[in-house]
Amino acid sequence: MAPPDDLAAVAPAEPTAAPRARRSRAWWIVGLVVFGLLIQLPNPFEELFWGSFAPRRIDRPSIPDGERRAASAERLVLLISFDGLAKTVLERHMPSTIADLVRDGSVAAFANDLSDSTLESHGVTISSQPAEESGFSAHTYRPWSRFRGPTIFTVCAREGLRCALLVGKAKLAALVAREPGCERFEYLRDPGRGGSGRQVLDATLAYIRERDPDFVMVHLPDIDVVGHRSGWGSDPQLEALTVLDVALRDFLVAASMATSRHLAILISADHGGYGRSHREGRPEVSQVPWILWGDGIPHGLIAAEVSQLDTAPTVAALLGVATPREWRGQNRVPVAPATAPSR
């Protein structure tokens, strides 16, 4: 039997182009919203995305020798940040190089950090201001990140000092992307192990030999990398600390031979940790070491507690320059003039 003539009239109609276009636009909008959330909210993808924009090296024109401040010849100041080194971990295992610096230097029982974020904490360190005052509150690299007030690198530019930042995490480029006082920024990474402390120290030594700087900030990522992987205070983390300590000794010996000036060294950390994380609110996270060593620096205990805010003013005192009025911390060590340097 033949189908009725009006069967075609009751058959379902084919979708038109307009609904398909609306669905396509809806999916695009959803995709853009999800992508926006992924690059804004803290997560591994967000850090990877913004980190891809971070410069691996910055070279700015060097201050000519004839324009450098005469007093800069006294000391080479090194600020060495052991990423993730908790006071509790160092109490459990004090390797030989750090033990020597503690014995012969000025030490605080602990420094109280103000952030559990690596980038934000280093921002506090160089600006001597809490993040809410400095305006630097990013936890990963952002091209627009900047400080409202002066940092130690701002002081370097003002005083005619030659300064650098060498790191093991790319996101720390945000600290100096807008800081002309930082002549050299360099990010070093060992793809095989994830940590790069020795590579950072080797690059720092090369820079010292090349440019004879006044101040260098050095970031060593190994302790934090192993802590996230194996746990804070774990045997692998203590082993990583021992290996890094040996690299530090080799570096300090070579650096003292590479400059005609005395070394002044301040060792601290951005945060500690517990388990496999470093969320704030626990002393294992907020209490970090603060060790100062060098010629003209007295020996012994400074105080039961210093603040992360005190680091930049103490570095400024070692460099022999005035601290900006915006800084919240204070110089913790009476610094005597260095004796005549000798090779």
pLDDT digits over 135-192, tens only? 998 888 888 889 999 999 999 999 999 999 999 999 999 999 999 999 999 999 866 5
In this prediction, residue 106 carries a pLDDT of 93
Question: Do both 23 and 107 map to the same domain?
Answer: no
Residue 337 lies in a domain: no
Terminal CA-to-CA distance of the chain, rounded, Å? Answer: 111
Question: Do both 155 and 248 map to the same domain?
Answer: yes
Number of H helices, E strands in the chain: 13, 10
Task: Write down the mean pLDDT value for the chain.
Answer: 86
Tokens of 215: 């101040």
Question: Do both 33 and 116 map to the same domain?
Answer: no
Question: Do both 191 and 300 map to the same domain?
Answer: yes
Range of the domain at 35: 16-52
Q: What percent of the chain shows pLDDT beyond 90?
A: 65
In this prediction, residue 225 carries a pLDDT of 93
- The residue whose two tokens read 């030490």 is 107
| AA identity, residue 202 | D
For residue 5, is pLDDT > 70? Answer: no
Residue 335 lies in a domain: no
Question: Do both 172 and 284 map to the same domain?
Answer: yes
As a whole number, mean pLDDT of residues 206-225 equals: 96
Question: Do both 185 and 302 map to the same domain?
Answer: yes
C-alpha distances in angstroms, 193 versus 84, 168, 169, 235, 294? 17, 12, 13, 16, 32
Higher pLDDT, 225 or 43: 225
For residue 3, is pLDDT > 80? Answer: no
Residue 333 lies in a domain: no
- Residue after which a domain boundary falls, among 52, 76, 99: 52
Q: Which long-range contacts (CB under 8 A, 24 or more apart) does 230-237 make?
A: 230/276, 231/275, 231/276, 232/84, 232/86, 232/88, 232/89, 232/272, 232/273, 232/274, 232/275, 232/276, 232/278, 232/284, 233/86, 233/88, 233/89, 233/92, 233/274, 237/89
pTM of structure: 0.85
Question: Do both 296 and 163 map to the same domain?
Answer: yes
- The residue whose two tokens read 């090349």 is 210
Residue 70 lies in a domain: yes
In this prediction, residue 52 carries a pLDDT of 80
Question: Do both 31 and 169 map to the same domain?
Answer: no
How far is it, in rounded angstroms, from Cα 294 to Cα 286? Answer: 26
Tens of pLDDT, residues 83-112? 999 999 999 999 999 999 999 999 999 999
In this prediction, residue 258 carries a pLDDT of 96
Q: How many domains does the chain have?
A: 2
Question: Do both 233 and 298 map to the same domain?
Answer: yes
In this prediction, residue 328 carries a pLDDT of 96
Question: Do both 199 and 122 map to the same domain?
Answer: yes
* DSSP-derived secondary structure letter, 107: E
